[in-house]
C-alpha cells in the first residue's frame, strides 16, 4: 500500500529559483517623467495590446541599453517639465535600474525617460499603421454599403426564401460583424493620432 502523504511530484526549490521568483514580483515605484514619455508608454502599450508593466520591464531589463544611455547621458534637469507617475514594474527591472543608476551616477528618471525615447520610432510606425487602418475601414464601409445594395437586389429579384439570397444574407452578416470589429480596433488606436 502506497503512502498517501508522499507527493506525486517532488520539486526542489533552490536559492536561484527563489531569487528568480522574487525578481518577477511586482513593485510600485514613482518616476518623474515628461508628459510625452508618459503618453508614449501608455499609447504604445494600448496599441500593442500589452500591459504597461510588460513594456516597461522590456525596456528596463535591457541592461546594455541602460548602460549605453548612462554613458552618453547629458544634463537632464533642464530638458522639460516633469510629472510624478507611479508604475508597477518587476523587482528585477527596478534592481537593474538602480544598479545602473548607481554605477554610472545617472538619475533613475533620466534612464527611464531615455529608455522610453527608444520606442518613439515604433510609435511612429504604429501611427502610420493606424492611418492605413482608418483608410481600410472606410473601404470596408463602402464594401458593406455595396453588399447591402446587392442583397436588396437579390431579395427583390429572387425573394427571401431563395438559397442565393440566404447565402448572401449570411455573408453580409459576417461582413457587418467584421466591419464592427475593425471599427473597434481603429477606435482603440485613436489616441495615437494626437501623439
Shared domain check, 104 and 133: no
- 34, part of any domain: yes
Q: What is residue 50's predicted lDDT score, i.e. its pLDDT?
A: 87
Shared domain check, 171 and 114: no
pLDDT cut 90: percent of the chain above it: 45
Shared domain check, 128 and 112: no
Task: Pick the last residue of a domain from 92, 118, 144.
Answer: 118
Task: Pick the last residue of a domain from 78, 94, 118.
Answer: 118
| 8/155: higher pLDDT | 155
Give CA–CA dist 183/137, Å, rounded: 7
Highest mean pLDDT among 32-36, 125-129, 178-182: 178-182
Among 6-15, 33-42, 102-111, 155-164, name the one with the lowest average pLDDT: 6-15
Helix residue spans in the chain (DSSP H): 15-24, 35-48, 52-60, 63-71, 91-104, 108-117, 120-158, 163-188
| Whole-prediction pTM | 0.65
- 7, part of any domain: no
Shared domain check, 94 and 160: no
Shared domain check, 72 and 89: yes
Shared domain check, 95 and 42: yes
Q: What is the pLDDT of residues 94-128, one digit of tens each?
A: 999 999 999 988 899 989 998 888 888 888 898 99
Range of the domain at 150: 123-194
Task: Pick the last residue of a domain from 91, 118, 145.
Answer: 118
Among 7-16, 57-66, 117-126, 137-146, name the one with the lowest average pLDDT: 7-16
Shared domain check, 132 and 47: no
**CA nearest 115: which of 162, 170, 159, 76?**
76
Give CA–CA dist 63/81, Å, rounded: 27
Shared domain check, 168 and 100: no
pLDDT range class, residue 139, cuts 50, 70, 90: very high
- 98, part of any domain: yes
pLDDT cut 70: percent of the chain above it: 85
- 5, part of any domain: no
Q: How many domains are contained in the chain?
A: 2
Q: What is residue 130's predicted lDDT score, i.e. its pLDDT?
A: 92
Give CA–CA dist 174/131, Å, rounded: 24
Amino acid at each position: 500500500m502506497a503512502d498517501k502523504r508522499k507527493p506525486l511530484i517532488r520539486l526542489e526549490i533552490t536559492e536561484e529559483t527563489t531569487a528568480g521568483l522574487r525578481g518577477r514580483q511586482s513593485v510600485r515605484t514613482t518616476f518623474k517623467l515628461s508628459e510625452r514619455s508618459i503618453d508614449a508608454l501608455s499609447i504604445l502599450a494600448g496599441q500593442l495590446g500589452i500591459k504597461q508593466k510588460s513594456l516597461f520591464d522590456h525596456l528596463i531589463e535591457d541592461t546594455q541599453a541602460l548602460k549605453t544611455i548612462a554613458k552618453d547621458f547629458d544634463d537632464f534637469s533642464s530638458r522639460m517639465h516633469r510629472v510624478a507617475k507611479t508604475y508597477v514594474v518587476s523587482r528585477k527591472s527596478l534592481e537593474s535600474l538602480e544598479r545602473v543608476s548607481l554605477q554610472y551616477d545617472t538619475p533613475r528618471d533620466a534612464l527611464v525617460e531615455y529608455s522610453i525615447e527608444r520606442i518613439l520610432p515604433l510609435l511612429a510606425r504604429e501611427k502610420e499603421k493606424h492611418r492605413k487602418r482608418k483608410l481600410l475601414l472606410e473601404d470596408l464601409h463602402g464594401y458593406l454599403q455595396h453588399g447591402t445594395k446587392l442583397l436588396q437586389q437579390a431579395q427583390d429579384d429572387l425573394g427571401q426564401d431563395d438559397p442565393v439570397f440566404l447565402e448572401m444574407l449570411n455573408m453580409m452578416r459576417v461582413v457587418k460583424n467584421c466591419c464592427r470589429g475593425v471599427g473597434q480596433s481603429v477606435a482603440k488606436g485613436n489616441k495615437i493620432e494626437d501623439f
